[in-house]
Amino acid sequence: MGSFEAYVFVDGRWSSHEASRGPFLAVSLHDSDIATVTYAPGPQHGGLAYLGFQPRDYFEDPTASDEVNLDEQAAGLSVWARDVLSAEVDPARVRSLLAESGIEEPMDDFVEDTVRRLITVLGLPLPDDLAAA
């Protein structure tokens, strides 16, 4: 059975509680196949990206998720890292990890591996249970 976890980076640390204020990065895992990444501050249309599969592909339902502009979100995550963490992150490195629309197979068998890579690229420490796995 896949993992269903939620991680929120706010105020310089990881938590499992929803962010209520200020800059944050949240990652929600769904059955080890989809990771939803939300963050603020983000691009004009909001900070939202997927790792693994996009929900619309995973559930074979185009209404399961909106289209995501991957270039905009990669740039947004890079700006987030710069503004929140003072880390310089190449948007191309972030972009390579984001879930493409219409894929048959994601880059990793378990999305947790992709989440680890994204967190590392952004310059964040891993949450304890992701680091232990």
- Cα distance between residue 28 and residue 75, in whole Å: 20
Q: What is the pLDDT of residues 93-106, one digit of tens each?
A: 999 999 999 988 99
pLDDT of residue 20: 62
Give, in order, the Cα–Cα distances in Å from 130 to each of 61, 64, 70. 30, 27, 25
pLDDT of residue 46: 82
Instruction: Tell me the pLDDT band of 2, cut-offs 50, 70 and 90.
Output: low
The model's pTM is 0.93
Lowest mean pLDDT among 2-11, 17-26, 56-65: 17-26
Instruction: Place 19 in a pLDDT band, splitting at 50, 70 and 90.
Output: low
Q: Per-residue b/e over 84-95, b at no fewer than 16 CB within 10 Å?
A: bbeeebebebbb
Nearest to 121 by CA among 42, 32, 40, 25: 25
What's the confidence (pLDDT) of residue 4? Answer: 86
**What sign does the CA torsion over 30, 129, 12, 108 have?**
negative
Per domain, the residue ranges of the chain are 6-126
Which residue type does 125 have?
P
Q: Is the pLDDT of residue 21 over 80?
A: no
Beta strands, E only, the chain? 6-10, 13-15, 24-30, 34-40, 47-52
- For 85-133, the pLDDT digits (tens) are 999 999 999 999 999 999 889 989 999 999 999 999 999 999 988 887 7
